[in-house]
Structure 1
Amino acid sequence: MESKEPRNTRRQHGFIARLRTAKWDYWLIAILILAAFLYAWNIWEAGEANSFYTAAVESMTQSFKNFWYASFDPAGYITVDKPPVALWFMAISAKIFGVHGWSVVLPSILFGIASVYLIYNMIGKRFGRIPARLSALIMTLTPIVVADSRTNNMDATLIFFLLLSIFFVQKAVFKSKQFYLWIGFAIMGVAFNVKMLQAFMLLPALYFYYWIATKINWKKKLLHLGIATIFLAVFTLIWPLSVDMTNANDRPYEGGSETNSALELAFGYNGAQRLLGQSTGTGGAFPGMGNSKKGGSKEGMTPPTGSKKGSKEGNPPAKPSGSKGKTGQPGGQGSQGGPGQGGQGGPGQSSKKGNKQMAGGGGGAFNIGTAGPLRLFQQELGPQISWLLIVAILGFFSSFFYYRGSKMKHWWSLNPQRKELWLWAAWLVPVFGFFSVASFFHPYYMIMLAPAIATLGGVGLYTMIKQWLHKSGWSLMLPTAILSTSLLQAWYVCDNYSTLAWILAGLGILVSIVLYILPWISKKAKRAYTWPIIGSILIMIAPTWWSLTPTIAGSSDGIPSAGPSLLQSAGMGGGGGGMGNSQVNSELLKYVEKHQGNAKYLFATDDSSTASPYIIKTGKAVMAMGGFNGTEPAITLAQFKKLVKSGQVKYYYSGGKTGSGNSEIVSWIKKHAKKITLKSSSSTTNSGIPTSATTEKS
Structure 2
Amino acid sequence: MKQKMREKIKKIDYWLVAILILAAFLYGWNIWKAGYANQFYTAAIVSMSKSWKAFWYGSFDPASFITVDKPPVALWFMVICVKIFGFHSWSIVLSSVLFGIGSVFLMYKLIKPYFGRLAANLGALFMTLTPIVVANSRTNNMDATLVFFLLLAGYVLHKAILKHKPLLVLVSFALIGISFNIKMLQAFMVLPAMYFFYFIASKQNWKKKTLWTIAATASLAVFTLAWPLAVDSTNKNNRPYIGSSSTNSVLNLAFGYNGTERLLGQSTGTGGAFPGMNSKNNSSKSGTAPSGTKTGSMKKPSGTNSASPGKRPSGQMGQGGPSAGGPGGTNSNKQMPGKNQAPSNSTKTKRPSGSMKRPSGKMGQGGPGRKGGGQGAGGGIFNVGTAGPFRIFQTALGQQVSWLLPLSLIGFVIAYFNEWRKKKKWLKFNKRQTHLLYWFGWLVPVYGFFSMAQFFHPYYMIMIAPPIAALAAIGIASFVENRTKKKAAEKLEDINSETDGLTTDNMAEIEKETKFASKVNTYLMAFAVLATTGLQAWYVYEYYPWATYLLVIAGLLVSGYIVISAKKFNKKASLSAILITLLLAPGFWSLTPTLSGESAAVPTTGPSLLSSNNVNDSFGSGSVNTKLISYLEKHNGSATYLFATMDSNTAAPYIIKTGKAVMTIGGYNGTDNAISLKKFKQLVKAGKVKYFYLTNDNGNNSSIVKWVKKYGTKVSASEYGGSSTSSQSMGRGPGNSTGTLYKLSVK
Q: Normalising TM by the smaller chain, what interval?
A: 0.7 to 0.9
Q: Which residue of 1 aligns with 2:360?
A: 353
Provide the rounded CA distance (Å) in 1 between the counterparts of 2:2 and 2:180: 41
Q: Which residue of 1 aligns with 2:65?
A: 77
Provide the rounded CA distance (Å) in 2 between the counterparts of 1:460 and 1:354: 34
Provide the rounded CA distance (Å) in 2 between the counterparts of 1:153 and 1:244: 24
Label 1:173 to 1:21 Cα distance change in 2 as closer, same or farther (>3 A).
same
Q: Which residue of 1 aligns with 2:684?
A: 644
1:381 equivalent in alignment to 2:384: no
1:275 equivalent in alignment to 2:315: no
Contact 2:295 2:618 in 1 (8 A): no
Alpha-carbon deviation of 1:354?
Answer: 5.5
Letter of the 2:242 counterpart = E
More divergent stretch after superposition (532-541 vs 239-248): 532-541
1:135 equivalent in alignment to 2:174: no
Q: Which residue of 2 aligns with 1:441?
A: 456
Provide the rounded CA distance (Å) in 1 between the counterparts of 2:659 and 2:22: 36
SS of match in other structure, 2:742 = strand
Q: Which residue of 1 aligns with 2:633?
A: 593
SS of match in other structure, 1:47 = coil
SS of match in other structure, 1:526 = coil
Q: Which residue of 2 aligns with 1:681?
A: 722
Alpha-carbon deviation of 1:196?
Answer: 0.2
Provide the rounded CA distance (Å) in 1 between the counterparts of 2:142 and 2:89: 15
Q: Which residue of 2 aligns with 1:312?
A: none
Q: Which residue of 2 aligns with 1:4?
A: none
Label 1:539 to 1:362 Cα distance change in 2 as closer, same or farther (>3 A).
farther
Label 1:284 to 1:513 Cα distance change in 2 as closer, same or farther (>3 A).
farther
Q: Which residue of 1 aligns with 2:660?
A: 620
Provide the rounded CA distance (Å) in 1 between the counterparts of 2:264 and 2:139: 27
Q: Which runs of 4+ in 1 moved over 6 A?
A: 334-337
Provide the rounded CA distance (Å) in 1 between the counterparts of 2:291 and 2:357: 16
Provide the rounded CA distance (Å) in 2 between the counterparts of 1:477 and 1:354: 33
Provide the rounded CA distance (Å) in 1 between the counterparts of 2:47 and 2:703: 28
For 2:105, which of 117, 120, 132 is the aligned residue? 117
Correspondence list, 1:523-672, <5 A: 523=567, 525-527=568-570, 529-568=572-611, 571-572=612-613, 579-659=619-699, 663-672=702-711
Q: Which residue of 2 aligns with 1:291?
A: none
Letter of the 1:643 counterpart = L
Provide the rounded CA distance (Å) in 1 between the counterparts of 2:427 and 2:551: 37
Provide the rounded CA distance (Å) in 2 between the counterparts of 1:30 and 1:410: 42
Residue deviations 1:425-461 (CA, integer Å, cap 9, x gap) = 0000000000001111100000000110011110011
Label 1:231 to 1:73 Cα distance change in 2 as closer, same or farther (>3 A).
same
SS of match in other structure, 1:80 = coil
Q: Which residue of 1 aligns with 2:302?
A: none
1:209 equivalent in alignment to 2:197: yes
Mark the runs of 5 or more structure 1 residues left unpaired by the alignment: 1-12, 288-300, 309-321, 327-333
Contact 2:382 2:457 in 1 (8 A): yes
More divergent stretch after superposition (96-105 vs 186-195): 96-105
Q: Which residue of 2 aligns with 1:38?
A: 26
1:473 equivalent in alignment to 2:504: no
Label 1:465 to 1:425 Cα distance change in 2 as closer, same or farther (>3 A).
same
Provide the rounded CA distance (Å) in 1 between the counterparts of 2:21 and 2:659: 36
Mark the runs of 5 or more structure 2 residues left unpaired by the alignment: 297-316, 322-355, 372-380, 486-517, 727-735
Q: Which residue of 1 aligns with 2:499?
A: none
Q: Which residue of 2 aligns with 1:393?
A: 409
Alpha-carbon deviation of 1:285?
Answer: 5.3
Letter of the 2:529 counterpart = I
Provide the rounded CA distance (Å) in 1 between the counterparts of 2:22 and 2:9: 25
Alpha-carbon deviation of 1:172?
Answer: 0.9
Alpha-carbon deviation of 1:472?
Answer: 2.5
Q: Which residue of 2 aligns with 1:54?
A: 42
Q: TM-score, normalised by structure 2?
A: 0.81
Provide the rounded CA distance (Å) in 1 between the counterparts of 2:538 and 2:215: 49
Letter of the 1:629 counterpart = N
1:339 equivalent in alignment to 2:294: yes
Provide the rounded CA distance (Å) in 1 between the counterparts of 2:643 and 2:524: 64
Alpha-carbon deviation of 1:526?
Answer: 2.6
SS of match in other structure, 1:381 = helix
More divergent stretch after superposition (475-484 vs 465-474): 465-474
Contact 2:608 2:614 in 1 (8 A): no
SS of match in other structure, 2:695 = coil
SS of match in other structure, 1:167 = helix
Provide the rounded CA distance (Å) in 2 between the counterparts of 1:464 and 1:336: 40
SS of match in other structure, 1:628 = coil
Letter of the 1:696 counterpart = Y
Q: TM-score, normalised by structure 1?
A: 0.86
Contact 2:108 2:123 in 1 (8 A): yes
Label 1:337 to 1:234 Cα distance change in 2 as closer, same or farther (>3 A).
closer
Label 1:132 to 1:266 Cα distance change in 2 as closer, same or farther (>3 A).
same
Label 1:512 to 1:360 Cα distance change in 2 as closer, same or farther (>3 A).
farther
For 1:514, which of 542, 555, 561 is the aligned residue? 561
Residue deviations 1:481-515 (CA, integer Å, cap 9, x gap) = 11111111000000100111111112212222333
Provide the rounded CA distance (Å) in 1 between the counterparts of 2:587 and 2:177: 34
Provide the rounded CA distance (Å) in 2 between the counterparts of 1:531 and 1:323: 51
Label 1:573 to 1:340 Cα distance change in 2 as closer, same or farther (>3 A).
closer
Contact 1:480 1:512 in 2 (8 A): yes
1:198 equivalent in alignment to 2:186: yes
RMSD: 2.9
More divergent stretch after superposition (364-373 vs 142-151): 364-373
Contact 1:285 1:302 in 2 (8 A): no
Alpha-carbon deviation of 1:535?
Answer: 2.6
Provide the rounded CA distance (Å) in 1 between the counterparts of 2:249 and 2:191: 24
Aligned positions, number: 636
Alpha-carbon deviation of 1:529?
Answer: 4.4
Contact 1:93 1:103 in 2 (8 A): yes
Alpha-carbon deviation of 1:413?
Answer: 3.6
Q: Which residue of 1 aligns with 2:222?
A: 234
Provide the rounded CA distance (Å) in 2 between the counterparts of 1:15 and 1:149: 39
Q: Which residue of 1 aligns with 2:475?
A: 460
More divergent stretch after superposition (463-472 vs 585-594): 463-472
Contact 1:323 1:660 in 2 (8 A): no
Correspondence list, 1:291-306, <5 A: 302-303=276-277, 305-306=278-279
Provide the rounded CA distance (Å) in 2 between the counterparts of 1:467 and 1:14: 38
Contact 2:292 2:382 in 1 (8 A): no
